Amino acid sequence: MRTSIATVSLSGSLTEKLTAAARAGFDGVELFENDLLASPLTPEEIRARTADLGLSIDLYQPMRDIEAVAEEEFARGLRRARHKFELMRRLGADTVLVCSSVSPLAVDDDALAAEQLRRLAVLAEDFGVRVAYEALAWGRHVSTYDHAWSIVEAAGHPALGTCLDSFHILARGSDPKRIEDIPGEKIFFLQLADAPLMAMDVLQWSRHYRCFPGQGGFDLSGLLAHVLRAGYRGPLSLEVFNDVFRQAEAGPTAVDARRSLLVLQEATRPLLRQAAGLAAPPAPVVPTGVAFAELVTPDVVPVATVLGALGFTRTARHRGKPVDLWQQGEARVLVNTGPAARRDGTALAAIGLESPDPAAAARRAEALLAPVLPRRRALGDAPLDAVAAPDGTELFFCASLGPSGPSERGGFSGRPELPHWTGDFERVERAPQVEHVEHVEHVEHVEHVEHVEHVEHVEDVERVELVGHVERIGPVGKVPGVGAVTRIDHLALTQPWHQFDEAALFHRTVLGLSGQESVDVADPYGLHRSRAVTNADGSVRIALGVGPAPSDDGARAQHIALATDDVTEAARRFRAAGGRLLAIPANYYDDLAARYGLGDEELATYRELGILYDRDQNGEFRHCYTQTVGRVFFELVQRDGGYRGYGARNAPVRLAAQRAAGRPGR
Amino acid sequence: MRTSIATVSLSGSLTEKLTAAARAGFDGVELFENDLLASPLTPEEIRARTADLGLSIDLYQPMRDIEAVAEEEFARGLRRARHKFELMRRLGADTVLVCSSVSPLAVDDDALAAEQLRRLAVLAEDFGVRVAYEALAWGRHVSTYDHAWSIVEAAGHPALGTCLDSFHILARGSDPKRIEDIPGEKIFFLQLADAPLMAMDVLQWSRHYRCFPGQGGFDLSGLLAHVLRAGYRGPLSLEVFNDVFRQAEAGPTAVDARRSLLVLQEATRPLLRQAAGLAAPPAPVVPTGVAFAELVTPDVVPVATVLGALGFTRTARHRGKPVDLWQQGEARVLVNTGPAARRDGTALAAIGLESPDPAAAARRAEALLAPVLPRRRALGDAPLDAVAAPDGTELFFCASLGPSGPSERGGFSGRPELPHWTGDFERVERAPQVEHVEHVEHVEHVEHVEHVEHVEHVEDVERVELVGHVERIGPVGKVPGVGAVTRIDHLALTQPWHQFDEAALFHRTVLGLSGQESVDVADPYGLHRSRAVTNADGSVRIALGVGPAPSDDGARAQHIALATDDVTEAARRFRAAGGRLLAIPANYYDDLAARYGLGDEELATYRELGILYDRDQNGEFRHCYTQTVGRVFFELVQRDGGYRGYGARNAPVRLAAQRAAGRPGR
């Protein structure tokens, strides 16, 4: 079906809005009157611009407060309408939206409304215009879609039909099933908008909180099914008033918008295969695990120090790029010191997702408008499909499968018919261990350092260049053997504040993950909102957060949460290896004591190590945090008994502690 | 009465919150549990810190979900309570807030609730603690203040009383009159919060939209009168959950908060003179006119060009500072090129307000915590009382009175017993007019330029320094004689987004102006909110606006609206003098034609000049805009028939046009 978007849904000048809509692949637009008024383009220029962009003007809107008034008032309305019909002729727009009146001058008289709308349609017909009458949820006398339809039916004019708007229908709690009683050809237009389920004044709700399908709580695929069963074959058009979108850039918003329509059509397709032209993207390919998390850093030492203290071992190095693989259990972290790392310090740049079918996963992502990344194929590199998430994080679709380590030939076991990212890595040979070095006067060249037990004093460390690889030798600290980490529990990505809904929709629909509930937590400096997406067995968990202060976008923190069966043991080992844990205020533990029946010894341990505690109806959660490196920190988490959350109620304490530690804690 | 504020109302760490509360002059705080948990300070250290700051901990809060549950559950609650009572002893806090239960475990049994609360009070008494039981508006079984009081009364224990919260009472629509039936000594605590009147879920409303008294729609002085009549003499305490305050700096928020309490006490005082200790600031001294608007600029030429084209004449210069006075009718604009101008380009820095009693006005302002500015008394300068508004705009209280120009001795007529700001200005002598200069090869030194009719071509202009005054000679353009401006209609100040409510409260209470309704307008780039404050006869009007994007604060635009009896004439003269008017899209006028019965000729004129049109039930409004200089532009406005607004519905078109013109249009 054709897709369309109301210009009011996008930010910027009319030209910017049209360009964004066209680039995102929309077929048409609803031209919102205020955008026309504010535009320096003449109607003819707007017509030419939209045509050049391959867009049609599917609707001109809105015309207000026309019907069910005294004759003199109606005559004024007709005069206004004639102006607008002339304007529409210049624009090449053939359908106008007429909203049910909110005027105090309107009377509760359906027959009068029908008669006046019929006269409006007679005038419209002269201009080749169709009138689509819509019930506003807050209309003075007409506020439900079936009421609006009964008036249209009574008017009985071919140039008069109805416009359905999902928000007005669902916000009022109307049963959308009766839509099927309307003849499809009398549904002149369909406007789609979702909204979070809120108990508030419906006008304010509509004007500020509408969102794209799938981002709110309405059953839009159910509604669309009814509309299609009624026989509607016009465009699917998004009309979304949203305070956030008004301030965001039009381009990404338009992509977010069209993705929502693609997914909506997908959801509706099984219901109504007979409806012609219902495009659907390739089916989702749900990831089955986290292959790796990739950190980029301009300075490998702090990252190596923390990973080492966490018990990770550098097991392999990329053949041609400055990328190391660190492993522990099933947790794999790539550390990339290549050119990308120069930009903005240590950051979580990419996530490798295990996929049953990487190519199909990439096709799905591309069909849902995710930017496809160049495969970065170097000499001998495995071609990896990758796309960018809205926040810029790169998502790689991998097929390494399984936890096995590097094989003898330097690759991983897995599915031999698929290219392996691990095929590009070579196993790091263990260097001979040096038990004790009393004093090193000068280091000229170091080929490889596997393991340093203890460094007493480092005077003046030089940077050493290896072939094709920048390696720094610094005060690496203590790097012990294997720790208590079993795998990556989740990855936490802080989103730019205006992209939170887009990110949630992206991860759910592009990756086929399920969204968990959105959680708001008040931290001392603002509201902290978060929402996780996960696969069925919890082996892939991505926690999306949005920090409170819009201006803080530049300092967005990300973190890698590592699963352990014993967070106390993991924390102790980390600390014994020289790692620094985030200190949690003692007051927090006094409260834990009051709140839960935890033993004194257990509490003392948590207090000592900075372990936080949470509990839900399913189980328990214990977690602690490392110091922050660049924009990244690590969390050690222990889940017991089916706990599903992420310790959100501890977030304010954690954030305050990170602030106190002078780190960019969000 | 003592004033107190809940730490949750302020942003930052506990230390920052306490410091801000103390600096703003509060006597105590409600310590919010989460702030304690997140603080690295021990309870003893918090006690010492508050004491050092001269603050008491008036309330510890909240304790939740205690009452009306099964015995086993209540035993757990008592165990938690014991922990908290011990904590309170360490803190030196003697009153704890207990909220009515929201737990699904609670049963609807007032007798059980009373009995368990009595047992809680017995335990509390052992620790010297008083329990203040409060009805949450969304409490599971107890949601009204009188219901909570009936339970407290039934429990009948001296350590158990009730806590009243204005939000919970007024949001539920309860009649506050029955508060007078509660014995004053059983009202253990009073929490005050205002809120905008909204139809939404009361929990969300409470958690995100509370504001300080006078910033919302509740009748808080009415409620306070009932509480005082009941005999309550405890602290007036602010408990405000607000998403904006969470992100703002604690210092200004605390000042805003305490100002709201001072004004609330003022409003309540006439009702209850017998209530001891009700402080009240000096009465407001409402300004009677605008003495001047002061622009600061590092480059006088563009400002002089626009003022000249608008018909202003430079009539006087300050004796010792680089400040010029430009006049037209009753409109006076000071142009200051002194050191303050260097900071951030051309800006509206100060407003001179005509005051019947400048000293009293300043005393009022100071009592309401407005920062008093140094009087900038230089050799022979009149001492002017001045304060800073929350956005930094300086407000001078003047007593020049009347529209008369500079007198023979360089001053203005007015009230001779008061110092005049105009006394520091000297009349500018008209320089001999040069009819025509064919060609100027080089300008070595210019002492003074009064009036330039036309400049054909300027090749290479040098900067010329005069004694104590920077004057630039540039392409000054055409500067004609007197225009059509009669006075300053209003001053429009764009506020930092988080200070909008504070600014409105400030101007209303400090200056004694009346607030008009808040108006939200969607502009293409976001929501534009505005609210005007005005005196009774409209001779002082200040329009406060908040731009949509929080990050745009740096580019906040301000403007001076100049009244004229004939905007068409004024616009024509401006343009004839070489001034550039903001171009308004033709589409706007097509819509005007459709909307109103304006004549073709009238419309053609508006279209030609970029004049905007609005109408309300009282009259008509015609206005147009000059180009922007730095952060400042001018508006020419014509009000007819008692129109009270500011053309808000035209703001999106104006803002889009300013953006199109590449100006910082907000």
The model's pLDDT over A439-496, given as tens digits with 9 standing for 90+, comes to 444 444 444 444 444 444 444 443 333 322 323 333 323 333 456 899 999 999 988 8
Q: Is B595 on the interface with A (CB under 8 A)?
A: yes
A residues 237..266 contacting B (CB < 8 A): 241, 243, 246-247
pLDDT of B321: 83
SS3 of residue A526 by DSSP: strand
Q: How confident is the model at residue B409 (pLDDT cuts 50, 70, 90)?
A: very low
**Residue B329: alpha-carbon gap to chain centroid:** 29
- The strand pair at A558-564 and A485-495 is best described as antiparallel
Minimal CA–CA distance to A542: which of A497, A507, A506? A507
Alpha carbon separation from B255 to B100, B366, B369 (Å, rounded) = 31, 12, 7
Judged by average pLDDT, the poorest of B4-8, B98-102, B547-551, B656-660 is B547-551
Rounded Cα–Cα distance for residues B494 and B498 (Å):
11
pLDDT of B474: 29
Rounded Cα–Cα distance for residues A271 and B536 (Å):
64
Between A527 and B475, where is the model more confident?
A527
E strands in B337-484: 347-354, 385-388, 394-398, 425-427, 463-466, 469-472
E strands in A319-389: 323-328, 331-336, 347-354, 385-388
Rounded Cα–Cα distance for residues B419 and A57 (Å):
65
Has residue B643 got a pLDDT over 70? Answer: yes
* Residue from the list A39, A83, A247 with its beta carbon closest to the beta carbon of B585: A39
pLDDT of A205: 82
Q: How confident is the model at residue A548 (pLDDT cuts 50, 70, 90)?
A: low
Exposed/middle/buried for B624, CB within 10 Å: 0-12, 13-18, 19+?
A: buried
Q: Is A199 on the interface with B (CB under 8 A)?
A: yes
Has residue B411 got a pLDDT over 60? Answer: no
Alpha carbon separation from A372 to A19, A394, A421, B334, B428 (Å, rounded) = 21, 9, 17, 58, 69
Tens digit of each residue's pLDDT (9 = 90 or more) over A272-330: 555 556 667 889 999 999 999 999 998 888 999 999 999 999 888 887 788 899 999 99
Asked if B586 and A200 come within 8 Å (Cβ–Cβ), the reply is no
A residues 79..108 contacting B (CB < 8 A): 79-80, 83-84, 87
Give the per-residue SS3 of B505-539. HHHHHHHCCEECCCEEEEECCEEEEEEEEECCCCC
- The strand pair at A463-466 and A469-472 is best described as antiparallel
Asked if B37 and A591 come within 8 Å (Cβ–Cβ), the reply is yes
* Residue from the list B13, B43, B204 with its beta carbon closest to the beta carbon of A660: B13
Q: In chain B, what residues touch A217 (CB-CB under 8 Å)?
A: none
Minimal CA–CA distance to B195: which of B213, B210, B208? B210
Between B399 and B218, where is the model more confident?
B218
Rounded Cα–Cα distance for residues B195 and B169 (Å):
12
Alpha carbon separation from A639 to A489, A538, A564, A565, A635 (Å, rounded) = 9, 11, 8, 8, 13
Exposed/middle/buried for B276, CB within 10 Å: 0-12, 13-18, 19+?
A: exposed
Rounded Cα–Cα distance for residues B38 and B16 (Å):
13
Give helix then strand counts, H and E, for chain A: 18, 27
Chain A nearest-CA residue for B653: A38
For residue A400, what are the contacts with CB-CB under 8 A and spacing of at least 6? Answer: A291, A352, A354, A412, A414, A420, A421, A422
* Residue from the list A11, A43, A526 with its beta carbon closest to the beta carbon of B524: A11
Shortest CA gap B213–chain A (Å): 21
Exposed/middle/buried for A424, CB within 10 Å: 0-12, 13-18, 19+?
A: buried
Kindly state the average pLDDT of the residues B520-525. Answer: 70
For residue B641, what are the contacts with CB-CB under 8 A and spacing of at least 6? Answer: B618, B619, B620
pLDDT of B382: 66
Rounded Cα–Cα distance for residues A94 and A90 (Å):
10
Between B455 and A69, where is the model more confident?
A69
A-B interface: how many C-beta pairs under 8 angstroms? Answer: 161
Between A448 and B32, where is the model more confident?
B32
Asked if A201 and B204 come within 8 Å (Cβ–Cβ), the reply is no
Q: How confident is the model at residue B656 (pLDDT cuts 50, 70, 90)?
A: confident
* Residue from the list B12, B37, B200 with its beta carbon closest to the beta carbon of A585: B37
Mean pLDDT over the full length of chain A: 84
Q: How many other CB atoms are found less than 10 A from the CB of residue B663?
A: 19
pLDDT of B551: 52
Has residue A380 got a pLDDT over 50? Answer: yes
Minimal CA–CA distance to A9: which of A218, A238, A236, A263? A238
Q: In chain B, what residues touch A656 (CB-CB under 8 Å)?
A: 13, 38-39
Count the residues in chain B.
666
Exposed/middle/buried for A430, CB within 10 Å: 0-12, 13-18, 19+?
A: exposed
Percent of chain A whose predicted confidence (pLDDT) is above 70? 82
Has residue A18 got a pLDDT over 50? Answer: yes
Has residue A370 got a pLDDT over 80? Answer: yes
Has residue A663 got a pLDDT over 70? Answer: no
Asked if A549 and B243 come within 8 Å (Cβ–Cβ), the reply is no
DSSP state of A623: E
Chain B nearest-CA residue for A657: B38
Has residue B407 got a pLDDT over 70? Answer: no
Rounded Cα–Cα distance for residues A589 and A598 (Å):
10
Percent of chain A whose predicted confidence (pLDDT) is above 90? 58
Tens digit of each residue's pLDDT (9 = 90 or more) over A28-61: 999 999 999 999 999 999 999 999 999 999 999 9
Identity of the residue numbered B96:
V
Has residue B554 got a pLDDT over 90? Answer: no
* Residue from the list A208, A246, A586 with its beta carbon closest to the beta carbon of B548: A246
Q: pTM for the whole thing?
A: 0.82
**Rg for chain A, CA atoms, rounded:** 30
Q: In chain B, what residues touch A34 (CB-CB under 8 Å)?
A: 522, 524, 652-653
> Most confidently modeled of A264-268, A305-309, B109-113?
B109-113
Rounded Cα–Cα distance for residues B141 and B172 (Å):
14
Shortest CA gap A596–chain B (Å): 9
Asked if A660 and B40 come within 8 Å (Cβ–Cβ), the reply is yes
Per DSSP, what are the bridge partners of residue B468? none
Judged by average pLDDT, the poorest of A187-196, A471-480, A529-538, B267-276 is A471-480
* Residue from the list A38, A39, A198 with its beta carbon closest to the beta carbon of B201: A198
Judged by average pLDDT, the poorest of A544-553, B350-359, B636-645 is A544-553
* Residue from the list B522, B594, B653 with its beta carbon closest to the beta carbon of A84: B594
Shortest CA gap A589–chain B (Å): 8
pLDDT of B289: 94
Q: Is A196 on the interface with B (CB under 8 A)?
A: no
Phi, psi for residue B378 in degrees, rounded to 5: -105, -175
Instruction: Judge contact between B395 and B540, C-beta under 8 A.
Output: no
Has residue B635 got a pLDDT over 80? Answer: yes
* Residue from the list B39, B247, B653 with its beta carbon closest to the beta carbon of A549: B247
Kindly state the average pLDDT of the residues A370-389. Answer: 76
pLDDT of A555: 55
Has residue B421 got a pLDDT over 60? Answer: yes
Asked if B199 and A201 come within 8 Å (Cβ–Cβ), the reply is yes
Q: In chain B, what residues touch A653 (CB-CB under 8 Å)?
A: 34, 37-38
Asked if B591 and A199 come within 8 Å (Cβ–Cβ), the reply is no
Minimal CA–CA distance to A588: which of A524, A649, A663? A649
CA A483-A489-A493 angle, 5° bins: 120
Q: Is B44 on the interface with A (CB under 8 A)?
A: no
Kindly state the average pLDDT of the residues B439-447. Answer: 45
Tokens of B90: 């360490």
Omega before residue B298 within 30° of 0, cis: no
Judged by average pLDDT, the poorest of A157-166, A213-222, A654-663, B459-468 is B459-468
Shortest CA gap B67–chain A (Å): 16
Minimal CA–CA distance to A496: which of A578, A558, A434? A558
For residue A248, what are the contacts with CB-CB under 8 A and spacing of at least 6? Answer: A11, A498, A499
Minimal CA–CA distance to A209: which of A222, A197, A221? A197
- Sign for the CA dihedral angle at A97, A99, A103, A105 comes to positive
Has residue A438 got a pLDDT over 60? Answer: no
Q: How confident is the model at residue A411 (pLDDT cuts 50, 70, 90)?
A: very low
**Angle at which helices A14-23 and A43-52 cross, to 10°:** 20
Shortest CA gap A584–chain B (Å): 8
A residues 12..41 contacting B (CB < 8 A): 12-13, 33-41
Identity of the residue numbered B227:
V
Tens digit of each residue's pLDDT (9 = 90 or more) over B43-82: 999 999 999 999 999 999 999 999 999 999 999 999 999 9
Rounded Cα–Cα distance for residues A381 and A394 (Å):
17
Mutate to test the interface with A, among B19, B37, B44, B90 (most CBs of A within 10 A): B37
In the block, tokens 């602030």 appear at A659
Tens digit of each residue's pLDDT (9 = 90 or more) over B11-31: 889 999 999 999 999 999 999
Asked if A586 and B42 come within 8 Å (Cβ–Cβ), the reply is yes
Chain A nearest-CA residue for B659: A13
Judged by average pLDDT, the poorest of A201-210, B236-245, B254-263 is A201-210
Shortest CA gap A72–chain B (Å): 14
pLDDT of B320: 79
Give the per-residue SS3 of A276-327. CCCCCCCCCCCCCEEEEEEEECCCHHHHHHHHHHHCCEEEEEECCCCEEEEE
Q: Is A593 on the interface with B (CB under 8 A)?
A: yes
pLDDT of B376: 63
Has residue A214 got a pLDDT over 70? Answer: yes
Between A596 and B275, where is the model more confident?
A596
pLDDT of B571: 96
Kindly state the average pLDDT of the residues B108-116. Answer: 98
Judged by average pLDDT, the poorest of A257-271, A454-468, B152-166, B526-540 is A454-468
Q: Is A541 on the interface with B (CB under 8 A)?
A: no
DSSP state of B170: H
Asked if A652 and B34 come within 8 Å (Cβ–Cβ), the reply is yes
Asked if B585 and A40 come within 8 Å (Cβ–Cβ), the reply is yes
Tokens of A257: 């918008």
Asked if B588 and A656 come within 8 Å (Cβ–Cβ), the reply is no
Q: How confident is the model at residue B150 (pLDDT cuts 50, 70, 90)?
A: very high
- Sign for the CA dihedral angle at B292, B295, B296, B297 comes to negative
- The strand pair at B95-99 and B130-134 is best described as parallel
In order, the DSSP letters of B370-400 are PPBPP----TT----EEEE-TTS-EEEEE--
> To which H or E segment does residue B31 belong?
strand B28-32
Asked if B13 and A527 come within 8 Å (Cβ–Cβ), the reply is no
Asked if A526 and B587 come within 8 Å (Cβ–Cβ), the reply is no
Judged by average pLDDT, the poorest of A39-48, A263-272, B536-545 is A263-272
Mean pLDDT over the full length of chain B: 84
Kindly state the average pLDDT of the residues B289-303. Answer: 91
Per DSSP, what are the bridge partners of residue B386? B396
Instruction: Judge contact between B297 and B630, C-beta under 8 A.
Output: yes
Q: How many other CB atoms are found less than 10 A from the CB of residue A45?
A: 13
Q: How confident is the model at residue A557 (pLDDT cuts 50, 70, 90)?
A: confident
pLDDT of A94: 97
B residues 458..517 contacting A (CB < 8 A): none
Between A448 and B41, where is the model more confident?
B41
Has residue A406 got a pLDDT over 60? Answer: no
Q: Is A45 on the interface with B (CB under 8 A)?
A: no
Kindly state the average pLDDT of the residues A192-217. Answer: 85
Shortest CA gap A404–chain B (Å): 42
pLDDT of B96: 98
Has residue B272 got a pLDDT over 70? Answer: no
Kindly state the average pLDDT of the residues B364-370. Answer: 92
